[in-house]
Structure formats: C-alpha cells, structure tokens
C-alpha cells in the first residue's frame, strides 16, 4: 500500500517540475541514499515470505517509472534552457554596424623601411643608436672639436652641461659602429633614427626629425662607390629614370664632401615647383670618411677607407608623397593619417 502511495506522490511531484534543480532534488528524495524508494528496498525483510516477490517487483516498477520519467523530463528541461539561451543571445544581423575609424601606416615609416630594404639587399645591417648622446660621439670623434664654429650651425639641445645632449644628427652612430667593430671590415650599416635641433616648428622645420645614416668601410673605397650606392637607393625610391649628381660641399667628418641631388622625378628636369625650377632636388649630405674620423675610431686610414651618407627622411617622404607640411608626419589626426593610404596609392599608379 505504502508503495502505491509513494508512486502516486512521486508522479504528482514529477508532473509539476519546471526546472532542473527541483528535478534533481526529487531524484535525491526518491533514489538518494536515504530516498523513499531506496528505503522501500530495505523494508523487504519485514514482508511475509510469500509476498516478498510481488513486493520486490512492485518496488522495481516504481524505481523504473521514476527513472524513465526523470530522464524524459530532464531532456525536455535541458532543451528548453538551451532554447532560452539561444533566444537571449540572438544577434540581429539586420542592424547597421558601427563604423570603425581606420588609420593607415605612417608613410614616413614606410619610406624608411624601403630604404632599409634596399640597403639590406646590398648587405647592410640596420643599427640603432641612443638619442641621448655624448658630445664626444656627436661632435668630437666626428672631427668637430669643442669651439669649432660648425657646432653653432646645429643648434644642439644640451641636457647636462656641455657633455650630454640630444643627438643633432645620426652621424654619431658611425663612430659607435666603428668602435664596436674593433677594426673588423667590412663595416656596412645604416641607421635610421630621430635627431633634434633647436628649431621653430613650421611646414619645413621641426625640432625633431629623422635622418638615415649610412656608413661603409673597407679597402679602396672611393667616391664612385658612394655614387653607385646612392644611385641604387634613389632609383628604388623614386624610379629608374631618376639620376643623381654630386655637388661639392663641406662636412668635417668627410673629405671630400658632397651634397646629393636627384633629377626632379616630377618634371624630369624641365622645372617645376617641387625642384624650384632647377630640375634638381637635394636629398642628402655625404662624402668619403675623413682620415681623422677613421683613426679616432680605430681604423687605420692608410689601410682602410669608407664613405658615409645622411638622408633627410622627412624631405624624401615629402617629395615622394607630395606633402608640403612635414607636421603631418607627427600628428595623429585620423583625417590626415587616412590620406597616407591615398597618397601611396597615387604614388604607385
Ligand atoms: N650629419 C649631416 C647633417 O646632419 C649629414 C651628413 C653629411 C651625414 C655627410 C653623413 C655625411 O654621413 O657623410 O647635416
């Protein structure tokens, strides 16, 4: 009788279950260690012998009934739960998307990478140097002793007394590279990097700008090696039909020194705004490394010789991408940055 009672309440209760937690509670209530059905099993010893079999069958029936109803309800509840979850997480793909404002790689950086690539293809290493530099490397070991008038032209930012400064050129990396090379040849490096001078910022000047320094030291290096190397770089950057010309110049760390001009890639020499109607554009200073510089850095000028060059990176990028205000390289205005892509595409046409 008691078994029948348990069966009825059990069915009644299972009928009203609406969540998995209650369902599990019922499983414990009926089939747990001290569950009602489990306890029925232990009552069998009190049942008279002739009824034992019928009793056992009955209890088993209730247990099976519970188990099958339980499984069925569980499946149903789990499915409901999943459906609810899917419904609440549904994505409305008809909603308009939010526009992400995209920038573009900075073309000054791209130009530097291009120079790096062509130089690496000729066996050059790309090296780094400190922006906070010692006077010794920025000037003295480049053959510009204290009190030399050439120092005035560079309007240097001094940080501590007269010895520590923000480098006014990337040329000190030449010295550092040779000192590190300890007389080993060949030396073949380029160093793109930031430089600083006390300038008022405007469309063509900046207190901080980028140079790309180059240095090669080996045996029997002459001005014509320099010319050939510059030619390769320039043609890669501005086109195969662009020519280079050297004009005599003066730098303390090179002898002879030159200014590097390229034929105007825009008007092909006819004269335009870009070349100021001369047909030529200056893009670098360069020369044959001065014997004093080699000697001070541990290379015997009687045995070794070298050339060096220093490109103005902004100037080259401005020319290549038709930019007339160098401040655009350094601002983060997305309207301008976006233009970088457009300028590049135009350039590649
Ligand atoms: N350092 C020079 C400047 O800032 C540029 C330069 C000229 C670099 C001649 C060189 C060089 O390596 O050989 O004006």
* pLDDT tens sequence across 311-343: 999 999 999 988 888 888 888 777 777 777 666
C-beta of residue 298 within 8 angstroms of C-beta of residue 178: yes
More confident residue, 237 or 92: 237
CATH code, 107-348: 3.30.930.10
* pLDDT tens sequence across 200-255: 999 889 999 999 999 999 999 999 999 999 999 999 999 999 999 999 999 999 99
Of 349, 122, 110, nearest in space to 232 by CA: 122
CA separation for the pair 270, 325 (Å, rounded): 24
What residue spans define the domains of the chain? 2-88, 107-348
Q: Is the CB of 287 under 6 A from ligand 1?
A: yes
Rounded to the nearest angstrom, the distance between the alpha carbon of 169 and the centre of ligand 1 is 7
- For residue 287, give the ligand 1 atom closest to its CA: 13
Please give the pLDDT value at position 160: 79
Please give the pLDDT value at position 347: 64
Rounded to the nearest angstrom, the distance between the alpha carbon of 171 and the centre of ligand 1 is 6
CA separation for the pair 43, 38 (Å, rounded): 9
- For residue 174, give the ligand 1 atom closest to its CA: 12
Rounded to the nearest angstrom, the distance between the alpha carbon of 58 and the centre of ligand 1 is 103
* pLDDT tens sequence across 273-300: 888 899 999 999 999 999 999 999 999 9
The residues facing 249 across adjacent strands are: 257
Please give the pLDDT value at position 325: 87
* pLDDT tens sequence across 104-144: 788 899 999 999 999 999 999 999 999 999 999 999 999 99
* pLDDT tens sequence across 150-205: 887 779 999 978 899 999 999 999 999 999 999 999 999 999 999 999 999 998 89
Rounded to the nearest angstrom, the distance between the alpha carbon of 13 and the centre of ligand 1 is 92
Preceding amide of 186 cis, omega within 30: yes
Alpha carbon nearest to ligand 1 atom 13, residue: 286
C-beta of residue 140 within 8 angstroms of C-beta of residue 156: no
- For residue 211, give the ligand 1 atom closest to its CA: 4
- For residue 310, give the ligand 1 atom closest to its CA: 8
């Amino acid at each position: 009788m008691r078994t029948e009672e348990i069966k009825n309440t059990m069915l009644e209760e299972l009928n009203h279950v609406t969540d998995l937690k209650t369902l599990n509670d019922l499983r414990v209530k009926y089939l747990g260690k001290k569950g009602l059905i489990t306890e029925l099993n232990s009552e069998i010893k009190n049942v008279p012998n002739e009824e034992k079999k019928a009793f056992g069958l009955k209890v088993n029936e209730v247990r099976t009934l519970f188990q099958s109803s339980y499984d069925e309800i569980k499946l149903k509840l789990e499915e409901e739960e999943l459906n609810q979850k899917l419904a609440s997480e549904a994505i409305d793909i008809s909603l308009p998307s939010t526009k992400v404002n995209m920038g573009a790689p900075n073309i000054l950086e791209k130009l530097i990478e291009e120079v790096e690539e062509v130089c690496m293809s000729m066996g050059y290493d790309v090296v780094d140097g400190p922006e906070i530099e010692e006077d010794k490397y920025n000037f003295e070991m480049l053959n510009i002793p204290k009190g030399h008038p050439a120092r005035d032209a560079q309007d240097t930012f001094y940080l501590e007394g007269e010895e520590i400064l923000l480098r006014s050129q990337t040329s000190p990396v030449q010295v550092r590279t040779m000192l590190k090379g300890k007389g080993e040849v060949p030396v073949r490096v380029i160093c793109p990097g930031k430089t600083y001078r006390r300038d008022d910022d405007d469309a063509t000047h900046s207190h901080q700008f980028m140079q790309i320094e180059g240095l090669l030291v080996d045996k029997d290096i002459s001005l014509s090696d320099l010319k050939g190397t510059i030619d390769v770089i320039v043609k890669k950057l501005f086109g195969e039909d662009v020519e280079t010309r050297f004009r005599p110049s003066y730098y303390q760390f090179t002898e002879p020194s030159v200014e590097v001009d390229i034929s105007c890639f825009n008007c092909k020499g006819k004269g335009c705004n870009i070349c100021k109607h001369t047909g030529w554009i200056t893009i670098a200073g360069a020369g044959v490394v001065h014997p004093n510089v080699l000697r001070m850095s541990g290379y015997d000028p009687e045995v070794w010789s070298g050339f060096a060059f220093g490109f103005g990176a902004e100037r080259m990028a401005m020319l290549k991408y038709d930019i007339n205000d160098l401040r655009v390289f350094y601002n983060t205005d997305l309207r301008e940055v976006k233009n970088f892509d457009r300028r590049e595409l135009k350039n590649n046409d």
